[in-house]
């Protein structure tokens, strides 16, 4: 029996936690439920209303990161802006991803669990409130506070899972210890001299990303392939939506100031077409089939999960780049044409390359299938020196979509 068939064969009744969104059927909240781990092959497993609410609150932090990058690019602070965006977005992505994998394995949906997740949502909003200060002044106090609240609440959930699931206690305790230790490290960074902050941040990021690998070397948590694929797909929609929103606001402002020019029309059309193509490419192949076959291949699973940082970050940065290019067209920035164009083309090329590398390449059977992606990525980068970079890049991405769709087997 295949893994997909095995999933379909499981009893379709509701699991210990989440409730199904289909048919608006949501079970009543329980006072307390044992957190023993969910069935990784549970049928009809879908995102819960609480997870969707958390996603919507994370949108605030994503929007703040996009706006911070937009302002940095507009004022010509390319290197520092990109670096700060990368660091800020890491905290957003890492907090979201860690909760997503935890909830896929342990989600009793009882009152204590819901309250703990609401604490995490509070932390995400505090983190979002600190993004502006992090971009403008390099002040990490508020963003660190929000991040520590988020992660400490998750550590508490891991400890609770350890109490209810003795078979995976070593794994859950390692997660709790690793997460807690990292939070102490982040707090310690606030007391370091400014010149040591950046090396300290790099050390803490390495420590954070090593915690899941170290913890799950003691045993894998019972995550659900279909659920994880849906959660990542939903966050992809969030960042693409934020990208469209950021670009729309900027282009509308540019039209208000200049009443429309050919270049602005090309930017608006190219930006929208780029978003359509990015969505199409990401959802070309179903992620759950890949995750089902790699359920016990830890290194491939980590590559897929961690590689999405670049997918999410580049999709978010695309909106900021389009907004910055709109400012360039209306002479609100002194950035060169090529420099402003690269704010549009580089994120698109990174998104395209990463989607292929971690999300589509494992499905491909022939080496030649990578050629259209390589050609399109190179063409998108070269579009930086064209008169209408957004439009040219979008046409290249649309051509790739056509090639991928025609080649896709029925």
Question: Can you tell me the distance from the alpha carbon of 135 to that of 139, in angstroms, rounded to the nearest whole number?
Answer: 8
- Say which residue the tokens 């469209």 belong to: 244
Whole-prediction pTM value? 0.88
Q: pLDDT class for 10, splitting at 50, 70, 90?
A: very low
Give the span between the Cα atoms of 130 and 246, in whole angstroms: 19
SS3 75: coil
Neighbours of 399 (CB within 10 A): 15
pLDDT digits (tens, 9 = 90+) for 86-136: 999 999 999 999 999 999 999 998 999 999 999 999 999 999 999 988 888
pLDDT at 172: 96
Is 175 or 406 the better-scoring residue by pLDDT?
A: 175
How confident is the model over 27-32, as a mean pLDDT? 63
**CA–CA separation, 269 and 341 (whole Å):** 15
What is the pLDDT averaged over residues 224-228?
Answer: 92
Bigger pLDDT: 250 vs 325: 325
Residue with tokens 């693409």: 240
d(CA 102, CA 172) in angstroms, rounded, equals 10
Instruction: Map out the domains of the chain with their CATH numbers.
Output: 49-216 (no CATH), 225-407 (1.20.1410)
Is residue 21 within 8 Å of 230, Cβ to Cβ?
no
What per-residue confidence (pLDDT) applies to 29? 61
Tens-place pLDDT, residues 236-292: 999 999 888 888 888 887 777 766 678 888 998 999 999 999 999 999 888 877 787
Two structure tokens written together for 208:
């954070």
């Amino acid at each position: 029996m295949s893994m997909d068939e095995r999933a379909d064969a499981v009893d379709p009744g509701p699991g210990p936690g989440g409730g199904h969104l289909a048919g608006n059927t949501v079970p009543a909240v329980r006072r307390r439920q044992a957190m023993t781990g969910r069935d990784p092959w549970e049928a009809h497993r879908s995102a819960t209303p609480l997870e969707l609410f958390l996603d919507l609150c994370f949108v605030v932090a994503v929007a703040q990161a996009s706006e911070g990058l937009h302002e940095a690019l507009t004022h010509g602070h390319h290197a520092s802006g990109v670096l700060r965006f990368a660091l800020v977005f890491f905290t957003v992505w890492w907090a979201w991803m860690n909760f997503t994998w935890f909830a896929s394995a342990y989600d009793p949906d009882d009152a204590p669990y819901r309250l703990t997740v609401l604490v995490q949502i509070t932390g995400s909003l505090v983190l979002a409130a600190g993004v502006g200060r992090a971009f403008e002044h390099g002040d990490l106090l508020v963003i660190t506070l929000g991040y520590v609240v988020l992660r400490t609440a998750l550590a508490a959930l891991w400890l609770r899972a350890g109490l209810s699931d003795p078979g995976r206690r070593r794994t859950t305790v390692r997660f709790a210890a690793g997460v807690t230790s990292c939070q102490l490290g982040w707090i310690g960074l606030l007391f370091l001299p400014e010149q040591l902050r950046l090396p300290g941040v790099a050390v803490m990021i390495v420590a954070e990303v090593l915690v899941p690998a170290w913890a799950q070397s003691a045993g894998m948590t019972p995550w659900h392939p279909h659920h994880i694929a849906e959660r990542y797909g939903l966050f992809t929609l969030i960042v693409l939506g934020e990208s469209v929103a950021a670009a729309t606001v900027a282009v509308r402002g540019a039209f208000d100031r200049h009443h429309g020019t050919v270049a602005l029309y090309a930017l608006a059309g190219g930006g929208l077409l780029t978003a359509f193509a990015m969505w199409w490419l990401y959802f070309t192949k179903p992620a759950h089939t890949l995750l089902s076959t790699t359920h016990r291949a830890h290194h491939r699973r980590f590559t897929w999960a961690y590689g999405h940082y670049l997918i999410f970050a580049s999709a978010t940065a695309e909106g900021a780049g389009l907004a910055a290019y709109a400012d360039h067209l209306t002479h609100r920035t002194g950035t060169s044409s090529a420099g402003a164009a690269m704010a549009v083309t580089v994120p698109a090329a990174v998104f395209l390359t990463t989607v292929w590398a971690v999300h589509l390449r494992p499905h491909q059977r022939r080496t030649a299938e990578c050629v259209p992606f390589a050609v399109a990525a190179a063409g998108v980068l070269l579009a930086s020196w064209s008169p209408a970079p957004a439009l040219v890049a979008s046409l290249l991405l649309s051509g790739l979509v056509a090639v991928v769709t025609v080649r896709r087997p029925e």
